[in-house]
Structure formats: C-alpha cells, structure tokens
C-alpha cells in the first residue's frame, strides 16, 4: 500500500501533522495504538479522506540509503506500507516511543539515535517533585530529520514528545509539541 506520508503515532503531534498534511491534499495514513486518536481530530482526518490503522503498531522499517522506504505493522504482516515521507510521533515511554532498560534508553522501531545520559544514576532525581532528567531524553534531530547511526534520515521527521527536550510531564508543552509537528509539516510540504 502506498501513501504520500505515513504518520506513526496519533497523539497531539501526530494528529496535528496528519490533519494538516491530509487537508493540504497529501494521501496520509496514521498507524496508532490505543486511544491516542482522539475523537474530534480523528473525525476531521477521516472526513478529509485520511486512512486510519487504529489499534495497530509499526514493528519495523525498510531503509534504502538515507531514506526510510516502507514500514511493516503487527497486524498487516507482510503487507508493507510505503510512503515518500514519514512522521514519527510515537511519544515517550508510556506509548513506547522510547524504551528504557537497565543501562540504556533506545528508540524501538528503527533504532534511531537517542540523546540520553549514559550514567543511569543521573536519569532521575529521588525527589518526586523535582524535574526529572529522563523526561528530557528523546530522539536526536538534525535539521528536523531523525538520525540513525550518526546520519540523518532524509524523509523521517520526528514530532512531539519523542524528541529530546520536549516533554509534557512537567508543565505545559502543548506549544513545543505543536511547533515540532508544524515544523515537520512544513518540511514535508516544501519538498
């Protein structure tokens, strides 16, 4: 199946980017687990002709050179979803955009480069109310593009909380989330 843009994740960043791109006339598909696809934006996206793969999740990507060519999902099995561009809006730990194990923090879908502190003792402050460093971790970005093994991926745009430095758990980050989504939209639209 071919699309212009595939948006991975349907939270605030994913829905913002997807609705804007779909309404601009690009053929978009969202792959999103859970109820992150809230009703109102979901309706707008569907009404504009967008494709929703609700309750499904991306499990792997196929890369060619510096580009992401296609993704596979848990439920569609060997049927690939291809697109010109991809938006990664998978959020942080709860939505598994990031996974923390005992010694590292990683991005589980594509193995993208993640900004985090290698010293685990610095990940958190024992005081519950203090700012928590692990909430600042996230995928690396170069000119709006995701980075894998030190090189920017030319058509993969992270947006929202999956990004390093963007977090809603401490104060309101709506502006930062929407801003990163709009930046991804602009980058794709300018192409």
Task: Please answer whether residues 12 and 180 qualify as being in contact, where contact means their C-beta atoms are separated by less than 8 angstroms.
Answer: no
**Which of the stretches 17-25, 48-56, 123-131, 154-162 binds another protein when contact is defined by CB under 8 A?**
48-56
**Which of the stretches 20-28, 32-40, 139-147, 154-162 binds another protein when contact is defined by CB under 8 A?**
32-40
Distance CA 50, CA 6 (A): 10
Which C-beta is closer to another protein: that of 63 or that of 94? 94
- Answer for which of 62, 63, 94, 142 binds another protein (CB under 8 A) is 94
Which C-beta is closer to another protein: that of 78 or that of 118? 78
Distance CA 38, CA 15 (A): 9
Binding to another protein (CB under 8 A) within 138-157 occurs at none
Distance CA 138, CA 97 (A): 9
Regarding 165 and contact with another protein (CB under 8 A), the answer is: no
Regarding 46 and contact with another protein (CB under 8 A), the answer is: yes
Instruction: Give φ, ψ of 70 to 5 degrees.
Output: -155, 160
Task: Please answer whether residues 81 and 1 qualify as being in contact, where contact means their C-beta atoms are separated by less than 8 angstroms.
Answer: yes
């Amino acid at each position: 199946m071919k699309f212009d843009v595939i948006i991975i994740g349907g939270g605030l960043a994913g829905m913002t980017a997807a609705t804007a791109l779909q309404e601009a006339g690009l053929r978009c598909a969202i792959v999103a687990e859970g109820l992150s696809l809230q009703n109102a934006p979901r309706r707008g996206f569907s009404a504009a002709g967008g494709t929703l793969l609700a309750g499904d999740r991306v499990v792997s990507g196929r890369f060619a050179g510096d580009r992401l060519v296609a993704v596979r999902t848990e439920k569609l099995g060997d049927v690939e979803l291809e697109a010109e561009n991809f938006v990664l809006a998978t959020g942080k730990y709860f939505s598994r955009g990031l996974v923390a194990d005992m010694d590292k923090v990683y991005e589980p879908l594509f193995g993208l480069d993640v900004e985090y502190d290698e010293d685990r003792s610095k990940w958190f402050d024992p005081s519950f109310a203090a700012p928590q460093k692990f909430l600042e971790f996230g995928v690396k970005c170069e000119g709006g593009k995701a980075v894998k093994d030190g090189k920017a991926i030319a058509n993969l745009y992270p947006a929202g909380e999956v990004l390093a430095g963007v977090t809603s758990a401490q104060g309101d980050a709506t502006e930062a989330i929407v801003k990163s989504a709009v930046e991804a939209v602009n980058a794709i639209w300018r192409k």
